Structure 1
Amino acid sequence: MHSQTNLIAVLLLAALIHEGSAIWCYRCTSATPGCAENFNWRGIGFLGERCPEPNDICVKVTERRGAMETITRDCLSALSFRKDIPADKYEGCRPAAKDERLAHYVNHTIKEHDVRRDYFMDTTFCFCFLDHRCNGASGLQVSAIMGLLTVATALLLR
Structure 2
Amino acid sequence: MHAHVPLTVLLLAALLIRDGAAIWCYRCTSATPGCADNFNWRGIGFLGEQCPESNDICVKVTERRGAKETITRDCLSALSFRTDIPADKYEGCRPAAKDLRLAHYVNHTIKEHDVKRDYFTDTTFCFCFLDHRCNGASGLHMSALAGAAALLLPLLLLGTLQSH
TM bin (shorter chain): 0.7 to 0.9
TM-score by length of 1: 0.83
Relative to structure 1, the CA distance from residue 64 to residue 18 in structure 2 (aligned partners, 3 Å threshold; closer, same or farther) is: farther
Shift of 1:138: 1.0
Shift of 1:73: 0.2
Largest Rg, 1 or 2 = 2
Residue equivalent to 1:31: 31
Shift of 1:151: 5.6
Q: Is the partner of 2:113 in helix, strand or coil?
A: coil
Which letter does structure 1 place at the counterpart of 2:52?
Answer: P
Q: Is the partner of 1:112 in helix, strand or coil?
A: helix
Residue equivalent to 1:145: 146
Alignment gaps of 5+ in structure 2: 1-5, 159-164
Mapping of residues 40-51 of structure 1, within 5 Å: 40-51=40-51
Mapping of residues 12-91 of structure 1, within 5 Å: 17-21=16-20, 22-91=22-91
Shift of 1:94: 0.4
Which letter does structure 1 place at the counterpart of 2:150?
Answer: L
- Cα offsets for 1:45-84 (capped at 9, x unmatched): 0000010001100000000000000000000000000000
Relative to structure 1, the CA distance from residue 109 to residue 27 in structure 2 (aligned partners, 3 Å threshold; closer, same or farther) is: same
**Separation in structure 2 between the aligned mates of residue 94 and residue 77 of structure 1, nearest angstrom:** 18
**Separation in structure 1 between the aligned mates of residue 75 and residue 96 of structure 2, nearest angstrom:** 16
Residue equivalent to 2:104: 104
Shift of 1:148: 2.5
TM-score by length of 2: 0.80
Shift of 1:108: 1.1
Q: Is the partner of 1:74 in helix, strand or coil?
A: strand
Relative to structure 1, the CA distance from residue 91 to residue 17 in structure 2 (aligned partners, 3 Å threshold; closer, same or farther) is: farther
Which letter does structure 2 place at the counterpart of 1:52?
Answer: P
Percent identity between matched residues is 79
Larger mean CA deviation between 15-24 and 104-113 belongs to 15-24
Question: May I ask how many residue pairs the two structures share in their alignment?
Answer: 147
